[in-house]
Amino acid sequence: MIVSQNMVAEAEIICQQSVPVIDMKYDLCVAAQERNLQIDVPSSPSSSPSIREVRISDSVSAEISPFESVVSCSDADNIMESSSVKFVPKVRSGSYTDIGPRDSMDDEHIMIDDLSAHLGSLFKFSMPGAFYAVFDGHGGPDAAAYIKRNAMRLFFEDADLPQTTDIDSVFLKELERSHRKAFLLADLALADEHSVSSLCGTTALTALLLGRHLMVANAGDCRAVLCRKGVAVELSQDHTPAYFPERKRVEELGGCIVGGYLKGYRNNDLSVTRALGDWDLKLPLGSSSPLISEPDVQQVMLTEDDEFLIIGCDGIWDVMESQYAVSLVRRGLRRHDDPQQCARELVMEALRLNTSDNLTAIVICFSSPSRVFESRSRLPRWRPCSLSEEARSRLKSLLEGN
């Protein structure tokens, strides 16, 4: 049986959906701690007397705007007010890659669960840290490979990370500034690197976790998706000509888009509007170019509702929606509690759906499945209610017509 992606929503996510049920005289047995669940039974003049619509009011809507739960530095003061919540992510991750139908593998990725152990004295934060990245190369693997080899220098040593023990509004602004600088430094490094062709480039998406503060930076069409109580929340925007703000920016700067591609010189066309490298398509330094390396940066303060983060290249997202991927990983964690196996299952599913690109997926868990899914046991359940001997006797008499 072929199941569409729209049908794969988690059973735990009830999307304001009316469910017709037969109006039998059963009792809903709810534990004392569960009695705050509100159930509305609206009456409809057109409905049959024996059929009612039951609507669960505290359901979760799957229609969430991409950045509804994302905070900017201007909201930092509001973030700090909620920092009293003593939630510290217990990070564990796994990744999987596959060449797919391509002749060469141009993807690279980074996965560091303990940034302090990796950076040593360069890491001066009191809270635990982690760092993840996906680089999707084009025009060959050289640009992505170069950025991966030099990532620690570009994103940490040369980027002037703010040194403080407190996460406040000033820190958040400085953190974003330093990460934007890191992307620009990486772009300039590729311009000066003689081993990397000017026809070669890479998209880049990074995720930096400090304590429970998550910052995602993206230039290109890789994607980061957060699972919040089973609902997919996109933390990045695909920078392609199909995205109207990007198309408008490109065209206002004199760029040309034909057939969904940014036209370059010497027929070096691109399907993205932001990337590192590709200096054959960029104007000289100091000029405004249609193709830029400036990342979009989103910041989130994680809570207990945030279960895991998926980072993947466009080989994943070309063939599946964000909610589909979240549901797939969530079911996998429930079965085997292995983020690496979940990453593999994502890649295998993309291959089954006939992706045409290289594949890279990283799954970063923020908590154990026992806590993530414990809420399921708290949901009200239909339970049969036993009848007393007297009630049984009276029911028998009614059925026999006595």
The answer to whether residue 32 scores a pLDDT higher than 60 is no
Whole-number pLDDT of residue 85: 53
Question: What are residue 282's phi and psi, to 5 degrees?
Answer: -100, 150
Are 293 and 274 spatial neighbours (Cβ–Cβ below 8 Å)? yes
**Confidence band of 71 (pLDDT split at 50, 70, 90):** very low
Residue 16: what pLDDT? 37
Percentage above 90 pLDDT, the chain = 53
- The tokens describing 314, both together, are 């466009």
| Both tokens assigned to 34 | 């569960």
- The model's confidence at residue 269, banded by pLDDT at 50, 70 and 90, is confident
Query: Contact at 8 Å (CB) between 225 and 233?
Result: yes
Looking at per-residue pLDDT, the higher value among 346 and 76 belongs to 346
> In 3D, which of 98, 95, 96, 102 has the Cα closest to residue 357?
102
Report the pLDDT value the prediction gives residue 401, as an integer from 0 to 100. 73
Q: Which residues, in sequence order, are bridge partners of residue 209?
A: 130, 214
What is the per-residue pLDDT for 184? Answer: 94
Cα–Cα distances (Å) from 188 to 154, 185, 273, 278, 326, in that order, read 11, 5, 17, 11, 35
- Residue 284: its pLDDT value, please? 73
Higher pLDDT, 80 or 226: 226
pLDDT for the residue 383 = 57
pLDDT above 60 (res 396): yes
Q: How many CA atoms lie within 13 A of 319 on its CB side?
A: 17
Banded pLDDT at 58 (limits 50, 70, 90): very low
Pick the residue with more confidence: 8 or 165? 165
What was the pLDDT predicted at 125? 78
At 128-175, the pLDDT tens digits run 899 999 999 999 999 999 999 999 999 998 877 777 667 788 888 999
d(CA 7, CA 30): 29
pLDDT of 82 > 90? The answer is no
Q: Is 26 in contact with 385 (CB distance < 8 Å)?
A: yes
Residue 367, pLDDT score: 80
Q: What is the mean pLDDT of the chain?
A: 79
pLDDT tens-digit profile of 170-228?
A: 888 999 999 999 999 999 999 999 999 999 999 999 999 999 999 999 999 999 999 99
What is the gyration radius of the CA atoms in the chain, in angstroms?
A: 26
CATH 3.60.40.10 residue ranges in the chain? 73-366
Instruction: Look at residue 14 and tell me whether its pLDDT is greater than 70.
Output: no
> What gap in Å lies between CA 165 and CA 147, rounded to an integer?
29
The torsion of the CA quartet 368, 371, 376, 378, rounded to 10 degrees, works out to 170
Asked if residue 54 lies in contact with residue 37, where contact means CB atoms within 8 angstroms, the answer is: no
CA neighbor of 129 nearest in space, from 144, 146, 147, 116 = 116
The answer on pLDDT for 376 being more than 60 is no
Tally Cβ neighbours within 10 Å of residue 148.
Answer: 19
Which sign does the torsion angle of CA 184, 167, 81, 224 carry? positive
Q: What gap in Å lies between CA 388 and CA 45, rounded to an integer? A: 36
Name the most confidently modeled range: 42-46, 60-64, 142-146: 142-146
| Range from 14-28, 163-177, 209-223, 269-283 that averages highest in pLDDT | 209-223
- Contact present, 200 and 145 (Cβ < 8 Å): no
Residue 138: the pLDDT is 95
- For residue 111, the cross-strand partners are 132
Element (H, E) at 326: helix 322-336
What is the reported pLDDT for 124? Answer: 74
* pLDDT value at residue 170: 86
DSSP per-residue codes, 233-245: EE-S---STTSHH
Cα gap 143→146, rounded to integer Å: 5
Which DSSP helix (H) or strand (E) runs through 111? strand 107-112
Beta carbons of 224 and 308 less than 8 angstroms apart: no
State the average pLDDT over residues 113-138.
89
- Whether 386 shows a pLDDT value over 50: the answer reads yes
CATH topology of domain 73-366: Phosphatase 2c; domain 1 (3.60.40)
Is 257 strand, coil or helix?
strand
DSSP state of 86: -
Query: The tokens of 329 are what?
Result: 């990983």
- What's the pLDDT band for 250 if we cut at 50, 70, 90? very high
Cα 164 to Cα 82, 95, 115, 123, 167, distances in angstroms? 19, 31, 16, 11, 8
pTM, entire model? 0.73
Which residue, among 245, 270, 243, 277, has the nearest Cα to 256 in the 3D structure?
270
- pLDDT computed for residue 385 by the predictor: 63
Q: Which two tokens stand for residue 234?
A: 């996109």
144 within 8 A of 106, measured Cβ to Cβ:
yes
Q: Which residue has the higher pLDDT, 208 or 381?
A: 208
| pLDDT score of 285 more than 70 | no
Q: For residue 4, what are the CA distances in angstroms to 17, 65, 344?
A: 18, 22, 20
Residue 188 burial (CB < 10 Å; 0-12/13-18/19+)?
Answer: middle
Picking from 75-79, 315-319, 375-379, which range would have the lowest pLDDT averaged per residue? Answer: 75-79
